[in-house]
């Protein structure tokens, strides 16, 4: 049942790497450069960014969050913090959260 839900409920952005690439585009990168940057930071090929099965494994290994919340996996703010560190970027909500907790 979880596999069916995962296949039907999520957007390609979170199931693959669309959300990660979009973050870099919003920071001013061209789409091609953003894909190359994200692939380099994740240690995969640009083609893997489009493959939801490859990205599921990569996201789980790096604990970057996924569409289905699993035990001991990061989600929400914890996943955002790990994404910010992995991509070496500042995410405003992460910065505000860390400031509030005194980190």
Give 13-24 pLDDT, tens digit per residue.
566 788 899 899
Q: What is the pLDDT of residue 14?
A: 62
Q: Which long-range contacts (CB under 8 A, 24 or more apart) does 19-24 make?
A: 20/49, 20/64, 20/83, 20/87, 21/49, 23/83, 23/87, 23/89, 23/91, 24/87, 24/89
Q: pTM of the predicted model, to two decimals?
A: 0.81
d(CA 66, CA 30): 25
- Dump pLDDT digits (tens) for 71-89: 888 888 999 999 999 999 9
75's CB contacts (< 8 A; 6+ apart) are 65, 69
Mean pLDDT along residues 56-66:
90
Each domain of the chain, given as residue ranges in start order, spans 2-100
Q: Which residue has the higher pLDDT, 11 or 66?
A: 66
In this predicted structure, what is the pLDDT of residue 71?
85
Residue 10 has pLDDT above 50, yes or no: no
């Amino acid at each position: 049942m979880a596999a069916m839900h995962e296949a039907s409920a999520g957007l390609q952005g979170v199931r693959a790497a669309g959300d990660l690439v979009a973050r870099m585009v919003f920071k001013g990168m061209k789409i091609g450069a953003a894909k190359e940057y994200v692939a380099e930071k994740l240690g995969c090929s640009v083609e893997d960014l489009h493959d939801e099965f490859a990205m599921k494994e990569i996201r789980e290994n790096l604990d970057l969050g996924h569409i289905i919340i699993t035990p001991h996996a990061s989600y929400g703010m914890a996943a955002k913090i790990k994404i910010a560190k992995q991509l070496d970027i500042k995410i405003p909500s992460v910065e505000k959260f860390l400031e509030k907790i005194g980190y």
